[in-house]
A and B are shown apart, each in its own frame.
Chain A
Amino acid sequence: MPSSSDTIVGIDLGTTHSLVAYCDAAGPQVIRDERGEGRVPSVLAFRNGMVTIGWEARAHAVENPRATVFSIKRLMGRGYADVAEKELRFLPYPVVRRQAAEEERDVAAVEVDGRLLTPPELSAIILRELRQRAERHLGHEVRRAVITVPAYFDDAQRQATRDAGRIAGLEVLRIINEPTAAALAYGLGLRGRAKDEANGATVAVYDLGGGTFDISVLRIEDGVFEVLSTHGDTHLGGDDLDREIIQLVQREVREQFGLTIDTPEIKQALRTFAEDVKIRLSEREQAALAIDLGKGRTYERVIERAEFERLIEPWVEKTIASCRQALRDAGVGAEQIRQAILVGGSTRIPLVRRRVAEVFGRTPYTALNPDEVVAMGAAVQASILGGMKHDLLLLDVTPLSLGIETMGGAVGKLILRNTRVPCRAREMFTTFVDGQTNIRINVLQGERELARDCRSLGEFELRGIPPMPAGLPKIEVTFLIDQNGILNVSAKELRSGKEAGIQVVPAHGLTKDEVDRMEIESYTHAREDMTAHRLIDLRNQVTFDTHKAEQALARAGAALPAEERRRIEAAMASLRHLAETCTDADELHKALDAFGKMTIRLAEVNITAALKTIEPAKEADAASPRPAAPGPGARSAGSSP
Chain B
Amino acid sequence: MPKTPSNPRPIKCDSCSRPMDSPVCCQACHTLYPVDTSEDHFRLFGLPRAYAIDLADLHRRFLSISRNIHPDLFGAQTPEMRALSLRLSAQVNEAYEILKDPLLRAEYLLESAGGKSAAADKSVPGELLAEVMTLREDIETAKARGDMEALAAIRARIQSRREAAQKKIGALCERLDEPSDKIRGELRRHLNAMKYLNNLLSELE
A residues engaging B (CB < 8 A)?
Answer: 173-174, 221-222, 224, 226, 381, 384-387, 390, 393-395, 419-424, 480, 482-483
Contact = CB atoms under 8 A, between A and B. Distances in A.
Contacts of B76: 385-387
A386 B63 CA distance: 21
Contact of A393 (B70, B90, B93, B97): B70
Interface in B46-98: 63, 66-67, 70-73, 75-76, 86-87, 89-91, 93-94, 96-97
Contact of A424 (B75, B90, B96): B90
24 contacts: A174-B72, A174-B75, A222-B63, A224-B66, A224-B67, A226-B63, A381-B72, A384-B72, A385-B72, A385-B76, A386-B76, A390-B73, A393-B67, A393-B73, A394-B72, A395-B66, A420-B97, A422-B86, A422-B90, A422-B93, A423-B90, A423-B93, A423-B94, A483-B70
B89 A483 contact: yes
Which 6 pairs across A and B sit closest by C-beta, in order of nearness?
A: A385-B75, A422-B90, A424-B90, A420-B93, A422-B89, A483-B71
Nearest to A224: B63
A381 B73 CA distance: 11
A155 B8 CA distance: 39
Given A221-B63, A385-B75, A395 B86 contact: no
B66 A421 contact: no
Contacts of A420: 93, 96-97
Contacts of B63: 221-222, 224, 226
Contacts of A480: 86-87, 90
Contacts of A222: 63
Contact of A482 (B73, B75, B86, B96): B86
Given A422-B90, A480-B86, A395 B70 contact: yes
Contacts of B75: 173-174, 385-387
Interface in B166-187: none
B31 to A, nearest CB: 16
Contacts of B97: 419-420
B144 to A, nearest CB: 26
A385 B75 CA distance: 6
Contacts of A395: 66, 70
A16 B87 CA distance: 37
Given A221-B63, A224-B63, A224-B67, A483 B94 contact: no
Contacts of B89: 422, 483
Interface of B: 63, 66-67, 70-73, 75-76, 86-87, 89-91, 93-94, 96-97
Interface of A is mostly: strand
Contacts of B71: 422, 482-483
Contacts of B94: 423-424
A190 B147 CA distance: 49
A441 to B, nearest CB: 20
Given A390-B73, A393-B66, 14 more contacts: A224-B67, A385-B75, A386-B76, A387-B76, A393-B67, A393-B70, A395-B66, A395-B70, A419-B93, A420-B96, A420-B97, A422-B93, A423-B93, A483-B89
Of B66, B73, B75, chain A has the most CB atoms within 10 Å of the CB of: B75
B72 A483 contact: yes
Contacts of A386: 75-76
A420 B98 CA distance: 12
Contacts of B72: 174, 381, 384-385, 393-394, 483
A128 to B, nearest CB: 23
A174 B76 CA distance: 12
A174 B71 CA distance: 10
A224 B73 CA distance: 13
Contacts of B90: 422-424, 480
A110 B86 CA distance: 36
A57 B42 CA distance: 58
A221 to B, nearest CB: 7
Contacts of A482: 71, 86
Nearest to B70: A393
Nearest to A482: B86
A224 B70 CA distance: 11
A483 to B, nearest CB: 5
Contacts of B91: 424
Contacts of A381: 72
A386 B73 CA distance: 9
A483 B93 contact: no
A381 B87 CA distance: 21
Contacts of B86: 422, 480, 482-483
Nearest to A395: B66
A561 B32 CA distance: 84
B76 to A, nearest CB: 6
A387 B97 CA distance: 28
Contacts of A221: 63
Given A174-B75, A482-B86, A421 B70 contact: no
Nearest to B67: A393
B93 A421 contact: yes
B158 to A, nearest CB: 19
Of A173, A394, A483, chain B has the most CB atoms within 10 Å of the CB of: A483
A199 to B, nearest CB: 13
Contacts of A394: 72
A224 B66 CA distance: 9
A221 B70 CA distance: 16
B12 to A, nearest CB: 24
A390 B74 CA distance: 11
A348 B73 CA distance: 36
Contacts of A390: 73
A430 to B, nearest CB: 16
Of A386, A387, A419, A420, chain B has the most CB atoms within 10 Å of the CB of: A420
A222 B62 CA distance: 13
A603 to B, nearest CB: 56
A271 to B, nearest CB: 39
A609 B27 CA distance: 81
